[in-house]
Amino acid sequence: MEPHWLVRPRTIRLLWAAFAAVLAATVAAEFFVPMPAHEGLAGTFAFGAWFGFAACAALILVAKALGVFLKRPDDYYDEARDD
């Protein structure tokens, strides 16, 4: 059976290309939209772009590191009831 059009590799490649174009457009928009002058970090070029990416990467890594210590099998509390 033919897979759903949305999950064909061709569509996914196209979606990635479109996504990349949109990302570039939001950064390029800084040249056309008046941006108020900010000091420090918030004043850097494409602040939202790099900060958003960096913040998410950091959050994922923090979560991953915390998971090493705090993850348990999802029947963890069920076992607790049996004894």
Which structure tokens are listed for 42?
A: 């918030």
Within positions 31 to 60, which residues make up the interface with other proteins, using CB under 8 A?
33-36, 40-42, 46-53, 55-60
Residue type, 27: V
- Work out which of 14, 17, 18, 27 binds other proteins, going by CB under 8 A: 27
How far out from the chain centre does Cα 18 lie? 16
Output the CA angle 47-48-49, nearest 5 degrees: 90
**Binding region for other proteins (CB under 8 A):** 4, 6-7, 19, 22-23, 26-27, 29-30, 33-36, 40-42, 46-53, 55-64, 66-67, 70-74, 76-77, 80
